[in-house]
Structure 1
Amino acid sequence: MSEQVQRDAKKTPQDYAKEPVASVYNDFGTSAAGLTSDEAAKRLRQYGPNEIQKSKKQSQLKAFLKNFTSLMAWLLWVGGIIAVVAGMMELGIAIWAVNIINGVFSFWQEHAAQKATDSLMKMLPTYVNVHRDGQLTQIETTELVPGDVFDLQAGDAVSADAMLIQASSMQVDQSALTGESVPESKSVDYDPGEGQFAEANLIYEGTNVGAGTGTAVALATGMTTEFGKIAQLTQQQTHQDSPLTLELNRLTRQLSIIAIGIGILFFVLAIFVVKYPVAKSFIFALGMIVAFIPEGLLPTVTLSLAQGVQRMAKKHALVKDLNSVETLGETTVICSDKTGTLTQNQMTVNHIWLPFREYGVKGTGYVANGKILRRGHHVHLEDEPELKTLLEISAIDNDTRVQQGNDPKEAPKLLGTPTEAAMIIMAEKGGVNADELNKQMPRVKELTFDSVRKRMSTLNKLPDGGLRINVKGSLGDMLSQCSDVLDKGETVRPITDADKKAAIKAEQDYAESGLRTLAVAYRDIPADQVPANLDDLTVDTCESNLILVGQAAMADPARPEIFQAVKECHDASIRIIMVTGDSPVVARNVAAQIGIVSSNQARVITGTELADMSKDDLKAAFKEELIFARVAPEQKYKIVSTLQEMGEIVASTGDGVNDAPALKKANIGVAMGVTGTDVAKDAADMVLTDDNFASIVAAIEEGRTVYSNIQKFLTYILNSNVGEAIPSVLFLLSRGLIPLPLTVMQILTIDLGTDMIPALGLGAERAEPGIMKEPPRAQTSHLLTKNVLWRAFAWYGMIGAVVSAGGYFFVNYLNGWPSVALAADGTKGYITATTMTLACVIFVQMANVMNCRTRNASVFSIGLWKNFKINVGIVVEFLILIALMHAPILQDVFQTGPLHWQEWVFLVCIPLPVFFIEELRKKIVRGRQPSTQVE
């Protein structure tokens, strides 16, 4: 045996599949007895461990620091520095504290989500049975090397790309690679098959053996396998900022320009209009700049996203990155895999065809011409001998078995292929138990399935000593082996051409409906004709002169919840495009059945067609209803990237290795947590822990709610700025004759104190009614819209400004104004007046936080006191105001003092009128525009 693999590095497993086994042994320096331990050790050093390398994750330090380096975070750092330079140390520390708390909170949320995701990851098989030193031994899969010979049986996961050298009734589930729900039959003979990874004598890492046994020689391991190549393609994708991150950066720039612009304006006016000294004017302007910076924006956004993540976790959707929640809210297209995502990945028989009758399989039994043949545990097959025969053959000519776990509460596990499992379940519905039947008719021989004759047969001993040959397989191949009679209970009758045509037509009709069929036949050998040596019973002698019984039609059923989820997506103007490795006929019918397309006439583009299409042709095709079938991994990537070039926000779902590149490329990748592969989960932004497509719709609603809440928060914090700024404008326009109605520290008390907790409550607001009836927001729309500015500044803000200015002059009026001059800075009357102005702004904000809970819907429609955080926030801001008025240390810092009963009467009268004036405006808007759109 050679000490190194001498194979041609340019050869692929597909190339080796066409060569004789002896040639493969020679190239890989191995034999049927496998490698020696010494040789395997050398190759392990040469090729490295047999594992899929994970993409390098960001270090914990970088992940932590990134939460403090966003554009808004930098603005807050600078704002704190400005406050310190302006001599307001307490303010600077407060701003920095807000930034630190928000950064730590964001890191904790993302770290917790990542830990939960990591715990979900299912690794590749741990052990494999390999031939080493001439004997069978068990090793860790990471130690498998090219040239190793290893054994497989039903239930095993394949640990390397390999070529079969022995196989018995082997079927492999390759859906993780191809998306095809039907297992591939495998044999030692080369057959190219249809589609990618369909070679009969090749098996691939990451797939699973559904039935049979086999022995294979490893051709590729680790990152050189097809599984590894796709993982590598996935890891090459670069991270892109989410739409929310980009929008927040834009908003930060806008607010920075506004704040700096106002600061410069106030600086100039203070110097040239009020004649303030330059130093004093500079401090005044700096204070106004800091006042207009929305210090609570990042905490509110983070809290809103985090609460969306928590709500999604309760609905079995695990979000790995906070911003992914909002990105889902902007989704315009969902590219969805079919098998295991839209369907249950569980074949189910729903029609049985017999030459004399057709049955529908529903619930727990069968229906024929309205007659229920089984209800609950009561079987009525006495008058249905042909059906009984079909069920018995389906159960006994079957290698799949039901395994009950140690916990009786757990559902039984089916060991075998989905197709055979469907036949077992069909028989169980008719009261036919495979284990009991095998005791009555023990199996004495099996003629295994192969892809040439497309049949499987078992020989079972009859009670009278005879043999029954049970056959199942493709109808087309079965008919040619059938005799000229049909089973008719205790008798037979001639089979006519009309019978054969009816059987073929039924098969075609089922195929057009997206169903797969399996024909069933048998032949009895009398006891006196059974040969002494059963080896004399070959395929040719057994599978001839058969009696056709009928055929079972089956499909992978849609998930029950998918119909409502698809409808909600359509209502929300979100397009769903099926992208599957399954056949065009099945894909079209499933898409039509669940409502993704309006009819089964929708256009289907296969992988072969897609490969020849230009980007322009593909973009043109997207203008019509479209389904993609038989696509390769890189083609899914092409579909997603083309949609993104067209300006779509794309969510891509999937569970297999083939989905990973598209999951990584998409704006939001959604992997299945139960059936999903490790690579798919690693590439995705969100993992559905119950594989429920409906959870995506809930996530989209959460995302839209998050964006809407951020706009509500913006409206709330901006409107208080008007109430804060107008008194200062009066000071400037009067050239100082009107003393500052609010000091800079009092303004900052509102922004960082009283406004903060109610604003955070807005971030926790639930979805408004009808939010999923609106289309996704246009990418050209922004958080700071004309409507937001109008409501914040021209409507809420001006109401607040009038009230706050009115409160200031009301206190002076009580002290004799206008006969007496306005209270001068530093006097007791001035302290009372500024405290009253501050209190007026706070009381207006108590009403406005309620007003901001909805855009145009009445607050009563969502429950006046339903938002607990806002209720608490209102109480807290009132308590802060009381503390500012009466705590000596706070009085000194913020120049505040207690108010008299007359001022309190004025304050108490503020909230209700402000609230009901806004309710009146909303009612007028609703009358003019019944359905609102996302801003």
Structure 2
Amino acid sequence: MTSPTSANATLSVALPHARTASEVEEALDVSAGGLSSEDAADRLSSAGPNRLPEPRRTHPVLRFLSHFNDTLIYILLGSAVIKAVMGDWLEFWVIAAVALVNAVIGFIQEGRAEKALAGIRGMLSAEASARRDGAWATVPAEELVPGDVVRLAPGDKVPADMRLVQADRLRVDESALTGESVPASKSVDPVPADAGVGDRSSMAFSGTIVSGGQGRGIVTGTGAATEIGRIQALVGDAEALDTPLTKQLDGFAKVLTLVILGMAAVMLAIGRYLHGMPFGELVSAAIGFAVAAVPEGLPALVTITLAIGVQQMARRQAITRKLTAVETLGSVTTVCSDKTGTLTKNEMTVRRIVTPAAEYDVTGLGYDPAGDIVPVGGAVAGPDLAAILSVGDLCNDAHIVQDGERWSLVGEPTEGALKVVASKGGSDGSRSTRVGVLPFDSEHKLMATVHRAPDGSRALLVKGAPDRLLDRSTSQRSDQGRAPLDRARWDAAIDELSGQGLRVLAAARREAGDGDGVDLDDLVDLEFLGVWGIVDPPRPEAIEAIADCHTAGVRVKMITGDHAGTAFAIAREMGIVDDSRTRVLTGAELEALSQEQLKDVVRDVDVYARTSPEHKIRIVRALQAHDEVVAMTGDGVNDAPALTRADVGIAMGVKGTEATKEAAEIVLADDNFATIRGAIREGRRIYDNLRKSVVFLLPTNGAQSLVILFAVVFGFSLPLTPVQVLWVNMVTAVTLSLALAYEPAERGIMQRPPRAPGGSIISGRELGFVLMVSLLIGGATLAAFFIALGASTGMDQARTIAVTTLALGQLAFLFNCRLLSRSSLTLDALRGNRAVWWAAAALIVLQLIYTYVPAFNGLFGSTPISFAWWLVPVALALVVFIVVEGLKALRGRLPF
């Protein structure tokens, strides 16, 4: 056995999948007898325990405080300070509470990469059966070291990466690692050095599950040196990006802050040096201006609008883990989707049957036995069909179970497909008794069973890889009995089915002897019965959803672990590609490209096959280099790094691993691509409503600040006091602003292209529109104030009328904003959103309270007004509505 010194030098082996088992044994200085306890302990001290390293964590207090590092929050906190200076403690605590709630929500929802790493660590096995001191022993998986000999049995979770030295019909479910829907067959033969993870049949990887057979292997990688360890490192390195909305709001808030500060400074200078206003009065006016100009309700409005969107999306089977992801989906330009279970049903289905006498199409999808077998070209179903269906029914270990209206599979997906098609054809093997079986062997790629009929006759039934069964067949079934095998015809038929992306299995049979057993030597002189063409069928609703995405200007790219031919056939059937000349980029080809070269071709390639986790991240980064907003779907742990890096990570809720769900912003409750289409539509609706809300909210602040600015610049009494400004801000924020969050989607929302990345949340044209509306509402407010003063009503009554005009002007503008892109002079502006009417009613009730309740009169400086004076605000509000409609009609011709 090796010495401690030599053990320290033999803890790794390069490319173990490409080396023979004996070469790996020699490189790791180990024999079939395994390690001694002393040698294992020495190696453990050098290699470290077989567990994934804990990530470096930020202190929770620092993580919490980081959520206040945002320009919008600065505005919010600045507003709170101003209100504290003014002594408005109630408003101070309200605004402080909003900032605190934002921070708490962010704190709870962050850390998804750390949680993803925890999910990955949870995939590791707890213990293993290892050869120590010449005997098998159960050891903690954390104590495994390179060179340990480990044995595997069905149901075991592979405890470390290992080079297989024995594989007896060994199959391993690697779906969480590679995305493959079918368990991988393993062998001891080396594979090419450049083989991808999914093609390394000589390896078993940590965290995968043994689904059948037996095996032994030599541990070649533990802890961070395993494939799962590499994925963990990728998750940690794949920093999440700021969302488009976050960037837009941050830029908007910075510009708005500079504008407010600049205008306040100008106002102070004019009031002090032009009009000689007393310093105390000037400071009070400046504070009133700041309170009026700062849209302190904007962060809360954004949060509430997104929260409403989260609820709406949850009803559409899309569970959102991060608020801003709701809006980001609406700006997506490219969706990179996994194939199995997302675009397809993840239920293998026989599509075509070819027998020596005829060809048959099979209808129906998945494991539901409803469907028909239809002869092609006018042929008539005969004994040829019954013979191949009998093999699919009897030489089979799968079972189809009905649970209510849902059919599910117990067993292998491929065998499930054969069981279902046999049921569609009426095959009934219940009277036949199985008396012998040769289980599926990955080396020979076939399975055989012996069955005894009620009359005592025995039949040997075989299914497996077509080439293996053709090699063992000497004849084929025909209408006249057995006929010579037409190998050329079958090779052509197999190539045709494979070119359609179908997985091909073959069936054969012969009469069996009296013995009950069966071995490989018995599988000679077989009668070839035909082949099945099997596919994981596309979801019909996903095909329609992809077409809708293309109409909406959203590209869909398939990234799968499947082979190129299968991937392309499914992509063509789903409408992702429509040209036979379309390029499919494989993982090996992608590996040969530099990142710059990949950037040059990434937008032109829509199908990627045999990909690895690193490939997915490279694809996402290459697309993002073109300013694409990328959504990435995934279900396996191999998808977690790419989901973290993408602008929107979308995990599968049904078959997705916990690591994937924790890395994603959105989890699909139904694993359906059509839900992504609905979520994109919902994201666009939410963004439209958010933009409408911002366009609606800003003129409130703009009109108020302009009224105060005009008063200071021209030296007349303030039409609005700071506390009255707070009142208008409060009643519009709690009533009118939120109503637009419930607006239905605009017409043609999925017929327009995604919005361009970058820029502000409202365009320069819309900002000009906001300024014009601010001048209009502010002018109406000043007009009402001076009309009232001219009638000698007194200052308090004039201000009450001015406040009422400002509130009703905003209500009129709300109906303008419901249809920003078209005229509101239509019944559509009055229906479709009951929240608008509830908000309008609430505003009027609050304004009546403000005007007529004595306590509010004393608090806000208001006073009751006669019914006749209500006509002035109402008339001016109607003027605002009509003039704004005129501005909307002229927007295409004016420079704003």
Normalising by structure 2, report the TM-score. Answer: 0.89
CA separation in 2, counterparts of 1:106 and 1:709? 23
Give matches, 1:571-610, under 5 Å.
571-610=551-590
CA contact (8 A) 1:154 1:415 kept: no
Note the C-alpha offset of 1:523. Answer: 1.7
Note the C-alpha offset of 1:512. Answer: 1.5
Note the C-alpha offset of 1:69. Answer: 3.1
Give SS of 1:771's match.
Answer: coil
CA separation in 2, counterparts of 1:58 and 1:693? 36
Match of 2:367 in 1: none
CA separation in 2, counterparts of 1:11 and 1:113? 37
Give SS of 1:561's match.
Answer: helix
CA contact (8 A) 1:13 1:161 kept: no
**Alpha-carbon displacement from aligned partner over 1:328-387 (angstroms, at most 9, x marks no partner):** 2221111222223222233211100011111111122433347999xxxxxxx9x62221
| Alpha-carbon spacing, 1:23–1:475, altered in 2? closer, same or farther (3 Å) | closer
Moved more, 568-577 or 624-633: 624-633
CA separation in 1, counterparts of 2:114 and 2:353? 43
Give SS of 1:169's match.
Answer: strand
**Alpha-carbon displacement from aligned partner over 1:888-925 (angstroms, at most 9, x marks no partner):** 45434432211122212323444455445555665x57
749, 752, 756: which one pairs with 1:778?
Answer: 756
Note the C-alpha offset of 1:77. Answer: 1.9
The answer to whether 1:237 aligns with 2:235 is: no
CA separation in 2, counterparts of 1:266 and 1:645? 44
**Alpha-carbon displacement from aligned partner over 1:397-431 (angstroms, at most 9, x marks no partner):** 33x322759xx559565344322222222223223
CA contact (8 A) 1:637 1:665 kept: yes
Match of 1:825 in 2: none
The answer to whether 1:561 aligns with 2:567 is: no
CA separation in 2, counterparts of 1:863 and 1:433? 64
800, 803, 806: which one pairs with 2:777?
Answer: 800
Letter aligned with residue 482 of structure 1: S
Give matches, 1:387-786, under 5 Å.
387-398=385-396, 400-402=397-399, 409=404, 413-432=408-427, 436=430, 440-446=432-438, 448-451=440-443, 453-461=444-452, 467-483=458-474, 485-488=475-478, 491-495=480-484, 499-527=486-514, 538-539=519-520, 541-732=521-712, 734-736=714-716, 739-786=717-764
CA contact (8 A) 1:154 1:416 kept: no
| Alpha-carbon spacing, 1:587–1:150, altered in 2? closer, same or farther (3 Å) | same
358, 369, 373: which one pairs with 1:367?
Answer: 373
Query: Which blocks of at least 5 consecutive residues in structure 2 are unaligned?
Result: 365-369
The answer to whether 1:874 aligns with 2:840 is: yes
Give SS of 2:750's match.
Answer: helix
Letter aligned with residue 683 of structure 2: G
CA separation in 2, counterparts of 1:7 and 1:459? 53
CA separation in 1, counterparts of 2:65 and 2:742? 26
Note the C-alpha offset of 1:245. Answer: 1.6
The answer to whether 1:384 aligns with 2:382 is: yes
Note the C-alpha offset of 1:573. Answer: 0.6
CA contact (8 A) 1:355 1:550 kept: yes
| Alpha-carbon spacing, 1:559–1:689, altered in 2? closer, same or farther (3 Å) | same
Letter aligned with residue 414 of structure 1: L
CA contact (8 A) 2:361 2:376 kept: no
CA contact (8 A) 1:512 1:585 kept: yes
CA contact (8 A) 1:717 1:751 kept: no
CA separation in 1, counterparts of 2:326 and 2:881? 32
| Alpha-carbon spacing, 1:674–1:917, altered in 2? closer, same or farther (3 Å) | same
CA contact (8 A) 2:13 2:27 kept: no
CA separation in 1, counterparts of 2:757 and 2:604? 22
Match of 1:823 in 2: none
CA contact (8 A) 1:76 1:95 kept: no
Moved more, 614-623 or 899-908: 614-623
CA contact (8 A) 1:274 1:735 kept: yes
Give matches, 1:58-457, under 5 Å.
60-85=60-85, 88-90=86-88, 94-95=91-92, 97-105=94-102, 107-108=104-105, 111=108, 123-124=122-123, 130=129, 150-192=150-192, 195-363=196-364, 364-369=370-375, 384-398=382-396, 400-402=397-399, 409=404, 413-432=408-427, 436=430, 440-446=432-438, 448-451=440-443, 453-457=444-448
Give SS of 1:763's match.
Answer: helix
CA contact (8 A) 1:337 1:654 kept: yes
Query: Which blocks of at least 5 consecutive residues in structure 1 are unaligned?
Result: 374-380, 816-827, 930-934
The answer to whether 1:905 aligns with 2:892 is: no
CA contact (8 A) 2:556 2:576 kept: yes
**Alpha-carbon displacement from aligned partner over 1:595-617 (angstroms, at most 9, x marks no partner):** 11223331112222222224443
Letter aligned with residue 69 of structure 1: N
Q: Percent of counterpart pairs with the same letter?
A: 32
CA separation in 1, counterparts of 2:544 and 2:637? 28
Give SS of 1:263's match.
Answer: helix
CA contact (8 A) 2:327 2:684 kept: yes
Letter aligned with residue 605 of structure 1: L
| Alpha-carbon spacing, 1:567–1:16, altered in 2? closer, same or farther (3 Å) | closer
CA contact (8 A) 1:445 1:460 kept: no
CA contact (8 A) 2:330 2:683 kept: yes
Normalising by structure 1, report the TM-score. Answer: 0.85
Letter aligned with residue 130 of structure 1: S
| Alpha-carbon spacing, 1:131–1:582, altered in 2? closer, same or farther (3 Å) | same
Match of 1:377 in 2: none
Letter aligned with residue 77 of structure 1: L
CA separation in 1, counterparts of 2:229 and 2:863? 71
CA separation in 1, counterparts of 2:358 and 2:153? 39
Give SS of 1:903's match.
Answer: helix
CA contact (8 A) 2:7 2:39 kept: no
Letter aligned with residue 80 of structure 1: A
| Alpha-carbon spacing, 1:743–1:622, altered in 2? closer, same or farther (3 Å) | same
CA contact (8 A) 1:671 1:688 kept: yes
